[in-house]
Copies of this chain bind each other. A is one copy, B any other.
Amino acid sequence: MSTKELRDTEPVFSFPIRIYWEDTDAGGIVYYANYFKFFERTRTEWLRHLGVEQGSLLANEDSMFVVSQTDAKYHKPARIDDLLNITLHIKHMGQASITLVQTAWIQDKTVSDQRLLACESTVRLACVQQTSMRPSKIPLRVAELLSAKLSN
């Protein structure tokens, strides 16, 4: 399935993000790097929803997910007060990495089922041991929670 086809299926998870002054720049639009913050917040909420708190993962298992690769295409700019809906699809799951497709949609303020594509991104997360920063298998408990989700 292509990234675009994947994006049009039902997302595994979605999360609302409101745009504040801090997110915008003097061009009047959301600063491009900030979409990567929105995508990260959504991944974090997805993991929390599955029962994984990354702070505990780091403290108890010395494990963390780091971004090893990402890309983004920007379409319509989001602006202050906009409400975004960030979606998450799983593209690939490996033993030590996960690849996700994430999309930022601007919700129309007047027509609730209308939305505009702001930004779409693919992101590859690698699991590493924090102390060594070396790649490591995704902890079994986490892998099982993720796999259960995949087979749904």
If the complex has contacts A26-B58, A58-B26, are A74 and B68 also in contact, measured as CB distance less than 8 A? yes
Per DSSP, chain A at the interface is mixed
Task: Report Cα–Cα, A71/B40, bound state, in Å.
Answer: 16
B residues in contact with A37, CB < 8 Å? 20, 22, 33
Question: Judging by beta carbons under 8 Å apart, are B71 and A27 in contact?
Answer: no
Query: What's the interface size class on A, roughly?
Result: 35 or more
B residues in contact with A73, CB < 8 Å? 68-69
Task: Report Cα–Cα, A32/B44, bound state, in Å.
Answer: 14
Question: Judging by beta carbons under 8 Å apart, are A70 and B21 in contact?
Answer: no
B residues in contact with A41, CB < 8 Å? 18, 20, 22
Query: Which 5 A-B pairs have CB atoms at the shortest separation, nearest pair first?
Result: A71-B71, A33-B36, A24-B26, A55-B81, A55-B80
